[in-house]
A and B are shown apart, each in its own frame.
Chain A
């Protein structure tokens, strides 16, 4: 029944490693997003995809690479992890591109880089 799911929920890893976070939505939405929430709770968009096409790419380091194999999935791969990457990463989806509709968020992935 989960609308937007993310795995893993927690991720602890060392600097320099490469890791991936997976996101899936079963709502039939066209658009998916990745957000980063820092330690001060500030939530900022990173990427959006519409029907597997990259639409929004904020000023995110090249070490972050989203991949959307189909419109129900949006994965986030992070290379050469740094301490500053520690945050909660949220996946979200909405029924159409543009933000005139509410976005449904996943439960978040808490990434800790040591």
Chain B
């Protein structure tokens, strides 16, 4: 069975510093995808970044990068130059890529990030 683990329930980081949110996963699938979502206090779920298990390079999207270490089964999110608006709940997620219609995304329990001015 697939499992996502986020071990940091909460983090406090000074504005402008880089922050790393940890995510480890467990799966027996050879092909899978990893996602990060942001949920601000307003409640919406915002897609941030995606990494495929066969992608050789780490994914990057602006200030977000995904530090993918396949052997360690980790997919940490790195936010560079943090901003006050980055304060939110962050969810790591994964899915199988069997291309079956019943592939589904499973989510970790989230990490609440607080950016301090």
Binding site for B on A (CB under 8 A): 31, 40-45, 48, 50, 55-56, 88, 90, 92, 97-100, 102-105, 107-108, 110
Question: Closest B-chain residue to A45, C-beta based?
Answer: B104
A50 nearest CB across to chain B (Å):
5
* Residues of B81-117 whose CB lies within 8 A of A: 89, 91, 95-107, 109-110
- Asked if residues B47 and A100 are in contact (CB atoms below 8 Å), the reply is no
Given known pairs A43-B107, A50-B101, the reply for A98 and B95 (CB within 8 Å) is yes
- Asked if residues B47 and A97 are in contact (CB atoms below 8 Å), the reply is no
Q: Which residues of A contact B43 (CB under 8 A)?
A: 88, 107-108, 110
Interface size class of B (residues with CB under 8 A): 20 to 34
Other 6 A-B pairs with CB < 8 A, given A99-B97, A102-B50: A41-B39, A98-B95, A100-B33, A100-B95, A102-B35, A110-B43
Q: Which residues of A contact B11 (CB under 8 A)?
A: none
B18 within 8 A of A: no
Q: Which residues of A contact B102 (CB under 8 A)?
A: 48, 55-56
A88 nearest CB across to chain B (Å):
7
* Residues of B43-94 whose CB lies within 8 A of A: 43-47, 50, 52, 89, 91
- The 9 A-B residue pairs whose C-beta atoms are closest, nearest first, are A99-B95, A105-B45, A98-B103, A97-B101, A43-B107, A102-B47, A99-B105, A99-B103, A55-B101
